[in-house]
Structure 1
């Protein structure tokens, strides 16, 4: 029982359950799932599909944060990836062919790998602070995406390209299946091999891991490349879902959602131990919260405020010091026992004292 209470996944699970319960109260059929044309539809399916890009970006962000880093450029990589793919498809002679779509996706992911290498080299080789190294690409990357699209929204009409973000496979959206597959692969790699332990050692103490023979630079470089690849796939999903590349809005603030998902999931920003399952729960909480705001009829502009409130509450509930203070506040106070008074000496009447003194004088 104590292990369950102290689990870092307890509060994210409870928070997600509370959000789902609120949606059920607002919309009684919120959890219902129906089958239409062999495909699953429903609010829960929409949450999973719309949250798939955030899940992917948050997975990459988890490994970066575990290495004691941060990646603020994932939103820009999302924009660049979608812009490259749509621009290539729109400019090709046969935009509907599968070969054109595969080539466009390959170009986008290849550039994403190059952007990840850029961040990784700056951080691991040249020792630039991660927040500064990725902030440079965060600023310049969106400008590159706008340059690729000439500041316009590039639309494509390729059914093959639309399959990634809006297609279905085995009754489920392809975006959900891609995110789950990535989660399973990463989970097996970092938990069934020594890579996860080496990554945690680099995050806890890079110098000690280097002295122990761990190739910490290679690990740091690899996690930034992986983060960029996840962002590139997320960018393809977003562009595929709307059949267009919007360099201004694609991936906007997704880096903040990814960081919040990682923190909600229990991964420390100081590096070290991490939780992929907690990250997935955090991404689902963020997407469910967005859906709740829309369902309740609240203006979308206030979504960020509700996100901040939920993150603060969940992080406080996870903090050991806050839990200790809360337990101390609700624990009944024990009153200290009253001190026992010393036994008073027996009072002797004045008359007896006087007679005793007279008898003593008579003896003398």
Structure 2
């Protein structure tokens, strides 16, 4: 099983390495890392820093997709979380105290978890199709975020809040530490307990899981709640990084990048087996691709086309059927080896196997000629 998982991760690793090498060729100092003001700086650090929100959302999306679901509302939840956090700080007079920041983050994460719980209720209890249930919040969430901010961009100048995105610990940005901690906790939760097996069992065959006594409803609600919580944390980081809340544009279309990262990582949209390591690689590929667009000076009007072409090539490389078709011309020169059906030595590749008539006159019977 581990060897199969390693093979599935090989192509995303090669794609990520190829993107990094291409960036190095375009920018010789791409791999350089320096320390300024007690914080690491460099293109690789920027990929990890700016890719943290996408990675967090992708982790939550992984569990939802593993259960044959989908969550199109994560971008709207990002906007709601950022709006609530900034408005809470603004209502406190833009307080510089850490208590105000902690309260703002708690309000944002609590509301995000409730929104995820709402999605889980619609999908698991009311049996609404996941794409329809989450599409409702995708549309309504944007309106809710704009209602919270009054249709304006709320700006805050709270240093403790800005430290969430700009701060560092032992020169490592807080955002990278948050991402690494979330990945580790999720791995321990789903790979060191039976939870991961239960999710894969329900996602692979819901009816068999029900007959085995697994409470699929509870698992699904928990997965959507966790996805909402991850989106809320991403929203807090995004708003802290910009020092503002934009209910209209914050997290716009990030749900599509998250789904793409999960699929690139090897998790099928049909549910079942999922890979946390694959999701991490997928998120890094998507973020590296965005960095590549700017590093190579791709014109803005061509950026989306460039990303689409690269994503298309990645999907082709991951397709076993495509790889088999590419490799088939190199295998046509090999002759098949027939199994021995009678006495005598078994035929080899050098034997000429031709259809002839047997002594009984039956046409088409194979005979080995040496």
TM-score, normalised by the number of residues in structure 1: 0.90
Q: Does 1:34 align with 2:42?
A: no
What residue is the counterpart of 2:233 in the other structure?
233
From the superposition, tell whether residues 332 and 95 of structure 1 become closer, same or farther in structure 2 (CA, over 3 Å): same
Q: Deviations over 1:150-187 (max 9, x none)?
A: 11110000010011112111111101110110000000
From the superposition, tell whether residues 190 and 308 of structure 1 become closer, same or farther in structure 2 (CA, over 3 Å): same
Within 5 A, what are the aligned runs for 1:73-88? 73-88=73-88
C-alpha separation between the residues in 1 aligned to 2:69 and 2:301? 30
Deviation of 1:213 (Å)? 0.2
Q: Any stretches of 5+ residues in structure 1 without a counterpart?
A: 343-364
The root-mean-square deviation of aligned C-alpha atoms, in Å, is 1.9
Deviation of 1:272 (Å)? 0.4
Q: Deviations over 1:171-205 (max 9, x none)?
A: 11101110110000000100000000000011001
What residue is the counterpart of 1:156 in the other structure?
156
What residue is the counterpart of 1:179 in the other structure?
179
Deviation of 1:114 (Å)? 0.9
C-alpha separation between the residues in 1 aligned to 2:155 and 2:90? 7
C-alpha separation between the residues in 2 aligned to 1:322 and 1:291? 28
Q: Is the 8 A contact 2:317 2:323 kept in 1?
A: yes
What residue is the counterpart of 1:57 in the other structure?
57
C-alpha separation between the residues in 2 aligned to 1:214 and 1:335? 50
Within 5 A, what are the aligned runs for 1:290-329? 290-329=290-329
What residue is the counterpart of 2:7 in the other structure?
7
C-alpha separation between the residues in 2 aligned to 1:6 and 1:75? 31
Q: Is the 8 A contact 1:4 1:10 kept in 2?
A: no
What residue is the counterpart of 2:45 in the other structure?
45
Aligned-partner SS, 1:96:
coil
Q: Does 1:142 align with 2:142?
A: yes
TM-score, normalised by the number of residues in structure 2: 0.88
Aligned-partner SS, 1:35:
strand
Higher mean C-alpha deviation, range 182-191 or range 328-337: 328-337
Deviation of 1:301 (Å)? 3.8
Equivalent residue pairs, number: 341
C-alpha separation between the residues in 2 aligned to 1:133 and 1:200? 22
C-alpha separation between the residues in 1 aligned to 2:323 and 2:99? 56
From the superposition, tell whether residues 157 and 246 of structure 1 become closer, same or farther in structure 2 (CA, over 3 Å): same
C-alpha separation between the residues in 2 aligned to 1:4 and 1:197? 17
What residue is the counterpart of 1:72 in the other structure?
72
Instruction: Show structure 1 runs of 4+ deviating over 6 A.
Output: none
What residue is the counterpart of 1:207 in the other structure?
207
Deviation of 1:332 (Å)? 4.3
What residue is the counterpart of 2:278 in the other structure?
278
Q: Is the 8 A contact 2:94 2:158 kept in 1?
A: no
Q: Is the 8 A contact 1:78 1:234 kept in 2?
A: yes
From the superposition, tell whether residues 107 and 339 of structure 1 become closer, same or farther in structure 2 (CA, over 3 Å): closer
Q: Deviations over 1:96-148 (max 9, x none)?
A: 11111111111111111110111000011111000000000001101110111
Deviation of 1:207 (Å)? 1.3
Q: Deviations over 1:7-31 (max 9, x none)?
A: 1100100000000001101100100
Q: Any stretches of 5+ residues in structure 2 without a counterpart?
A: 337-351, 358-370
